[in-house]
Every structure is written in C-alpha cells, then in structure tokens.
Amino acid sequence: MKRYDTRQIRNVALVGHSGAGKTSLAEALLHRAGAIGRLGRVEDGTTTCDHDPEEHKRGISLSLAVAPFEWQGTKINLIDTPGYADFMGDVSAALRVADLAVFVVSAVDGVQVQTEEIWEMARELGLPRMVFVNKLDRERADHDATLAQLRDRLGPGIAPLELPIGTEADFRGIADLLTDTAHVYEDGVPHTEPVPDDMEDLERQVHESLVEGIVVADDEMLERYLEGEVPGLEELERTLHDGIAAATVFPVVIGSATREIGIDRLADLLVEIGPSPLDRTTTVSAGRGDAAQEVEVAADPAGDPLAFVFKTIADPYVGQISLFRVLSGTIRPDDHLVNSRTGDEVRLHALLEVRGKEQTPVSELVAGDIGAATKLPGVLTGDTLAPRGTPVVVPPIEQPEPTLAVAVVPRTQADEDKLATALHRATEEDPALRVERNDETRQTILHGTGETHLQITLEKLARRFGANVDTEEVRVPYRETVTGRVTGVEGRHKKQTGGHGQFGVCIIDLEPLPRGGGFEFESTVVGGAISRPFIAAIEKGIEEAMQEGGVFGFPVVDVKVTVTDGKEHSVDSSEMAFKIAGRLAFRAALEKAGPVILEPISRLEVTVPSELQGDVMGDLNARRGRVQGSEALSDGRQTIRALVPTSEIQRYAIDLRSLTGGRGRFRAEHDHYDVLPAHLTDKVRRTVGAEA
C-alpha cells in the first residue's frame, strides 16, 4: 500500500439536498481516478457508495459512505452523505471529520431546503466549503439562476470559478476563469482549447470580478493589484486556498456527474486549493473533571496517537466496523488505545481502508487519514481513542432530536427472542435512534427522526438481525384522577369455603390531591377494629387497583385514601381478604368521586421561517395548543413556544414537514398533565378488558 503524508490527504464530504447527485458525483470521481473500472448508476443500484438493499430499493443514500481515491499523488477521502432530512445525523458525523464540504446543487432544482440546513451546520463548525453545480446537461438546467440563488440564500463569499459552455443537452464543457481556458468534453474525455469567441467578453468580465474577489483577502496583493500588477495563477491559487481554509471564500465549480464533465477539474481543485488536515486543528477536552481544559490538537504524524470514531456499522458478516479519523500520531495494527468514555483498553487488531462495502487491510494510518477497524468491544460512535494516561475527549457529534415514534411488536416468539439484541445493535449503529420501554402503556417504542428513518430501521431489523416486527400506534399514557371527595365507602369481601373462609371489611374516604401529588394513604382506625397488617394489605390492594386502571381504564393518580373503620374475623380474616376489600372499596369510591381523564401536555418549541409563523400558530391552535410566546432569531426565523396535548402531536414531524416544505424544526418534551375536555372523553375511553 502506498504511504501518504498528512499534507497529501484531503477529507472531503459531499453534501446537499437529496437528488442533487452526490452519489453520482462520487462515482464519477472514483471512475475518473481509476479507482473503479466502470461507472455505476444510482438507478441500477450499481454505485460504490450506495450498497445496502434499502438504498437500492429507494434510489437514495441512507447513510454515509467512505470512498478514497488517488489524484495527482494525493489521497482524497470522499465521504458521500445522505441528503434526505431523516438522516442528518450522518451528515453531522461527516462534517465533523471533513476538512472541506463540497455542496452538490442541482442546476435544475436550485438551492433546496437541506442544502441551506447543511450550510448552516457547516458555518457553525467553521468548515471550509465549495459548491459543485451539477446536472447542467439536463432539461431546464439554469446556471445563472442557480448562481443567483447561491448568492441570495447562502450569503457572501460565493466565488464562481467556471462558466458553462453550452446549455442543457448541448452542455459540453467549462470555461476556467482562473486560467482563461476552455475544457471541452467528448464522451467524458477533456481537451483544452481557447474560450469560445461568443463567451470571451463575459468570461473576461467574470474573470476580473473573480480576481478582485480573491485579492481582497490579502492586503499586500490588493495593494499591488490596485497599482496595476495582475497576480499570477500560482499566487491566485495560494490566496484562494487561504480564503477557503478560513471559510471566507466559497468557490463554485460546475459540471455533469453522469456525463463526467468537469469532474477532473473538480479533482484538480480539491488537490490544488482544498485544505489538508494540516490547515485545521481539532478542539478537544484534555484532563479530568473540573481540571479539564480545551486544547487544539494538530494533525502531527509524530504526535501521540489519537482517533475519533464517527460512524459504527453493524455488518452481519464481520461484526461491528468502526470508522474513525486519526487526529494525531500514526496508528498501526495491534496498537493499544483507551476508550476515553469507558476507560477500557482497546486493541486495534487490524486496520482497514474502506471503499463502499469493500475493505482493504492497511499497515498504518497517519494523522489526518480516515480508516476503520473491526470488533472494537464497547466502542460507539462519538468515542475518542487515546493513549493510556492521556484523558482526551473530542466533543460528541450532535445528533438530530428523534421526533417520530412507533411501537414495535415482535411477530413471533422467535422474533421476540431476537428483538432486544437487534434493537441494541441498531441503536449502536445509528445514534439518532432511541428505544424505550413504556411500562405504563406496556409498549416497546422506537423513536426516529422521521417516517423514512423508522421504515428503514424496521427493514434492517429483519434483514440484518432476523427480527421481524409489526408496528402499532404509540398509546398516549392517559391517567385518571377524581374531582370530588367521598366518605364512608365500604369494601366488603366475604366468602365461605370448606375450612377457613375469607372475611374483610374496610371503610374509606377518597379525595383529590393537587396535580402531581401522586398517592397518599392514611389510617384513622381506632380501637383495633382492623389489625395493623391488614391495614397494610388494604393499602397494597388500593395501589394495585390504581395501577390496573379506574373507571376509564387508565392508571389513577393524585388521590388520597383514608381508612376510617372496618371489621375483621378472628378466624376467617387474612391479608388477602383485606387486600381484596381495599380494591373493592377503592373502585366503589372512584365512581362516586367525579372521575376524569388526565392527558399529558407537551412543551413544544417550533422554529420556522418568519413568513410561516402565522400558518404554524394557526395549526397549533387547531391542535388545542396554547401559544406561550415567540422569539425572532437573527437569521430571519421565528421560534414559537406552545403547550400542546401530546395526543395532538404524535405525527407532528410529518405534518410540520408538509406545512413548512421541510423548513420547520421542533422539539417536544413532556411538561405536565391536565384534565381532558369532557367532550373528548368518549373518544379516548377504554375499558380494562379492552386494554387487556
């Protein structure tokens, strides 16, 4: 295997809206570089980066994929990412280990929602960015309109480096504004020629604008330029590289991935002006507890070995595969590092270079490089691997909040035996998933970021782990309480059998407690009418009755029960008899005390563009929500805070996406319980028998 220095490595994430052509661009780059022998197609399921059956079925990327190739003696680690909103967790992971994000934008569809979302994510990370305008050979492709959108929606710093030669089906090449030359393609093979005469004036005008945009980043060069000195190509490229590394200049290049137009020029630029790992440092937390300090770690191959795991893959054949970036030092097979999260020592038995689903053993990975290792026990996505005695932690990858849930039910007994392990492995691979067992509703609930995310997960549970499940709606955990006070309610259990009989009588008072009061039990029995052990049995019987459900079949909360009197028999009374008597008394009292249903209320925080604020607030009101306030953000969006019944937002992730065209985001958390309006009682009422 060829050895690459850190300065000869480029880590490039391909990002953008779904359908813009990221996977096709990765395929074209691999093909032009000779890393693959033939050009695969997304439609045929033959691309390197989309290799899961679920990806073939839908024709979209569902998780990130690493695909390295060599160009001009430089190793370029491509990270192809999903563009669908449900899978932004993998985009976050890719941005954390990339040194450059290439935003792929369709010249037909323009700048779409996820492109803007990911641009903001990259901006917050201070990550260098450039844009590849794709699909210029398609019908309705519009380079000028797309460029105008880039400037309007992504902000200042957009710097076009190329102009298209020909439009739509006649698109055949690019005019390079840095070199004033044209690159014309025939069947993907380029040749250089002068810029066409009909483009010469436009090319010269845009070239001068580009040069002015580049030189302003360097005061000395700007001064010389104003004095009439025109900087040379090497000096322009060097200044452009510095502007990209500083995330102040964002070059725009163009082409067609499927016809391989402009692909070689993109690869050239990744090498010539793209940042290397040496241009960026990683912020880590070093030390323990309160003594921990943030420090910058440089990509030094001679430094202490340090690696960051950014993706975990549950492979059904080789087991767990951990993808990581080497932040510092040089890592070799059989090295021993410590998982900073668990404190456990980890041995890296073998190191791998991963290209799609292919894995190739390597002898070492230097600082800045990306590789993988298999079967690292206890290592999860986001873990830091460091030398023993060097407590270093890389900040965790920010995962999207799960916003949609389904309840999963194993199809057979065999599936039930596999389900717990399958869910555990699925959440290890995908940190955006969350699993919980709700004892109140007796459901196993799978939380994800959207409908597609959950569907894909269920398919993987069956295909990879052999756990077939059915789904059902998540039950809302309603509860019951009482609104009035009743006194002197009797519970009598008397049964005569052969030998000892069963006898127990108790009299109770029942009253409501403030919301959140739970359960209180008191005894005012005097004169020894009921023995102390039997009073405890009454309490236990009442607690069991509360859990089993009241008049409407839901658990009972926020009540106080006082035992005031009762009777016992010297022979036939027992704890069981008084336990049953307590249950009977409680159920009788409950029906007389004005029972009501309590529904959970969620605190909802919705962030949307300002122009959609009215639509969203109207929708929240229609869901019985109470808007608590709103706040204008600096980026032109509004955050709306509201209290909304949980039952009304079970599928809010889908509804909000539809209402806002994918531009809305929300977070929800349980806030409190409140009385369900009387007119909705019949709608949600269920009997204990139906629940069973």
pLDDT tens sequence across 616-675: 999 999 999 999 999 998 888 999 999 999 999 999 999 999 999 999 999 999 999 999
Reported as a single tens digit per residue, the pLDDT across 487-498 is 999 999 998 766
Reported as a pLDDT band with limits 50, 70 and 90, residue 49 is very high
Residue-number span of the structural domain to which 581 is assigned: 480-593
Question: Could you tell me if 605 and 505 are in contact, meaning their C-beta atoms sit under 8 angstroms apart?
Answer: no
User: DSSP string of 484-544?
Assistant: S-EEEEEEEEEE--SSS-EEEEEEEEEEE--TT--EEEEE---TTSS-HHHHHHHHHHHHH
Same domain, 617 and 650: yes
Nearest to 480 by CA among 587, 545, 544, 554: 554
Q: Residue range 362-368: average pLDDT? A: 96
User: Distance of alpha carbon 305 from its chain centroid, rounded?
Assistant: 29
The one-letter amino acid code at 485 reads R
In a domain, 120, yes or no: yes
Final residue of a structural domain among 279, 300, 320: 279
Question: Helical H runs in 62-199?
Answer: 88-97, 113-125, 143-154
User: Distance of alpha carbon 371 from its chain centroid, rounded?
Assistant: 22
Instruction: Return the structure tokens found at 578.
Output: 């008084």
Question: Could you tell me if 639 and 605 are in contact, meaning their C-beta atoms sit under 8 angstroms apart?
Answer: yes
Instruction: Return the structure tokens found at 71.
Output: 């160009």
Reported as a pLDDT band with limits 50, 70 and 90, residue 686 is low
**pLDDT at residue 498, as a whole number:** 64
Q: CA–CA distance from 14 to each of 118, 311, 364 (Å)? A: 11, 16, 25
Final residue of a structural domain among 393, 417, 441: 393
Nearest to 666 by CA among 675, 658, 657, 674: 657
In a domain, 569, yes or no: yes
User: Distance of alpha carbon 92 from its chain centroid, rounded?
Assistant: 8
How large is the angle between the packed helices 200-215 and 233-245, nearest 10 degrees? 60
Burial class, 326, CB count within 10 angstroms (exposed 0-12 / middle 13-18 / buried 19+): buried
Same domain, 514 and 629: no
Whichever domain contains 245, its CATH number is 3.40.50.300
CA distance 313 to 315: 6
Check pLDDT > 50 for residue 254.
yes
In a domain, 1, yes or no: no
The one-letter amino acid code at 268 reads D
Same domain, 377 and 408: no
User: Distance of alpha carbon 322 from its chain centroid, rounded?
Assistant: 18
Nearest to 623 by CA among 596, 639, 602: 602
Question: Could you tell me if 392 and 294 are in contact, meaning their C-beta atoms sit under 8 angstroms apart?
Answer: no
Q: CA–CA distance from 242 to each of 129, 130, 250, 575 (Å)? A: 12, 13, 11, 82
Same domain, 463 and 495: no
Reported as a pLDDT band with limits 50, 70 and 90, residue 691 is very low
Same domain, 298 and 211: no
**pLDDT at residue 690, as a whole number:** 42
Nearest to 113 by CA among 81, 84, 152: 84
Q: How many Cα atoms are found within 13 Å in the side-chain-facing hemisphere of 600?
A: 18
User: Distance of alpha carbon 543 from its chain centroid, rounded?
Assistant: 40
Q: Give the whole-number percent of the chain exceeding pLDDT 90.
A: 76
Reported as a single tens digit per residue, the pLDDT across 203-214 is 888 888 888 878
CA distance 344 to 325: 19
Average pLDDT, the chain: 92
CA distance 50 to 486: 66
In a domain, 191, yes or no: yes
CA distance 173 to 186: 9
pTM for the model stands at 0.89
Nearest to 99 by CA among 369, 339, 311: 369
Q: How many domains does the chain have?
A: 5
Same domain, 234 and 114: yes
Same domain, 496 and 549: yes
Whichever domain contains 333, its CATH number is 2.40.30.10
Nearest to 624 by CA among 655, 596, 610, 645: 645
Nearest to 262 by CA among 359, 157, 339, 189: 189
Question: Could you tell me if 504 and 573 are in contact, meaning their C-beta atoms sit under 8 angstroms apart?
Answer: yes
**pLDDT at residue 499, as a whole number:** 67
Whichever domain contains 458, its CATH number is 3.30.70.870
Check pLDDT > 70 for residue 1.
no
Check pLDDT > 80 for residue 72.
yes
Same domain, 61 and 124: yes
In a domain, 565, yes or no: yes
Give the H or E element holding residue 408: strand 404-410
Q: How many Cα atoms are found within 13 Å in the side-chain-facing hemisphere of 597?
A: 23
Same domain, 177 and 210: yes
Final residue of a structural domain among 251, 279, 307: 279
Check pLDDT > 60 for residue 521.
yes
Question: Could you tell me if 73 and 8 are in contact, meaning their C-beta atoms sit under 8 angstroms apart?
Answer: yes
Whichever domain contains 635, its CATH number is 3.30.70.240
CA distance 534 to 585: 14
Same domain, 545 and 507: yes
Question: Could you tell me if 583 and 541 are in contact, meaning their C-beta atoms sit under 8 angstroms apart?
Answer: yes
Name the strands in the sheet holding 173-176, side by side, starting at the edge strand that comes first in the sequence.
162-165, 173-176, 181-186, 189-193
In a domain, 491, yes or no: yes
Reported as a single tens digit per residue, the pLDDT across 378-424 is 999 999 999 998 889 999 999 998 999 999 999 999 999 999 999 99
In a domain, 474, yes or no: no
In a domain, 349, yes or no: yes
CB 51: neighbour CB atoms within 10 A?
A: 16
User: Distance of alpha carbon 667 from its chain centroid, rounded?
Assistant: 13
Phi, psi of 425 (to 5 degrees): -70, -35
Same domain, 188 and 239: yes
CB 557: neighbour CB atoms within 10 A?
A: 19
Same domain, 180 and 202: yes
Q: How far apart are the first and last CA of the chain?
A: 63
